[in-house]
Amino acid sequence: MLRPDYPITTERLRLRAFRSDDLDALNSFQSRADVARYLYWGPRSRAESAAALAKRVHSAELQKEGQFIAVAVELAETGQLIGDLNLDYLSSEHRSGEIGFIFHPDFHGQGYAAEAATEMLRLGFEDLGLHRIIGRCDGRNTASASLMERLGMRKEAHLRENEMVKGEWADELVFAMLEDEWKVRS
């Protein structure tokens, strides 16, 4: 079982469990077309963000494969919610997981996503004992692909027209890091 010792603090961020009072902040970026552009869902209404938040509030720990842990990212200095991270526990047999991240565009390009995602990798490898963590993104999402490369994840696949997303074929990029690679990196 993994229940992070919240809050997790980094140099500039505080990572914590989601709370029901995060709705306005979460919807402030989930409702944006530029945020949803490369995701499976479109801009979310307040009600859709509320439903997504309800799942996140109840995903503060991992007990078995198939579950995910959701982490709110806030600026340590102000307490403003700026991002949403997740770590999915894909397989106990193969000790594998997947990370994902979404950040408010006002905070892109400042290293916050890398700072927070590094902590998710640490949780996966050091606290959950994973052997392999992947990250996936739409092939057009160069910002996410670049972030995963900066994290030290290796591009393992470029799947051409792999999925139908919002009515069009989309490429998918798959990145990965192994536990041994994490140990060398950290």
Query: Would residue 149 count as lying in a domain?
Result: no
Query: Would residue 112 count as lying in a domain?
Result: yes
Distance CA 13, CA 83 (A): 10
pLDDT above 70: percentage of residues in the chain: 99
Query: Would residue 165 count as lying in a domain?
Result: no
Average pLDDT for 21-26? 97
What tens digit of pLDDT does each residue of 94-106 get? 999 999 999 999 9
The CATH number of residue 21's host domain is: 3.40.630.30
Query: Would residue 110 count as lying in a domain?
Result: yes
How long is the chain?
186
Query: Would residue 181 count as lying in a domain?
Result: no
Query: Would residue 118 count as lying in a domain?
Result: yes
**Domain assignment of residue 58, given as a range:** 8-133
Query: Would residue 64 count as lying in a domain?
Result: yes
Name which of 39, 61, 6 is nearest 140 in CA terms.
39
Long-range contacts of the stretch 62-68 (C-beta < 8 A, 24+)? 62/1, 62/2, 62/3, 62/87, 62/89, 62/128, 63/1, 64/89, 64/92, 65/89, 65/90, 65/91, 65/92
> What is the tally of structural domains in the chain?
1
Q: Within 10 Å of residue 90's Cβ, how many Cβ atoms? A: 18
What tens digit of pLDDT does each residue of 140-181 get? 999 999 999 999 999 999 999 999 999 999 999 999 999 999
Longest dimension (CA), the chain: 44
Query: Would residue 63 count as lying in a domain?
Result: yes
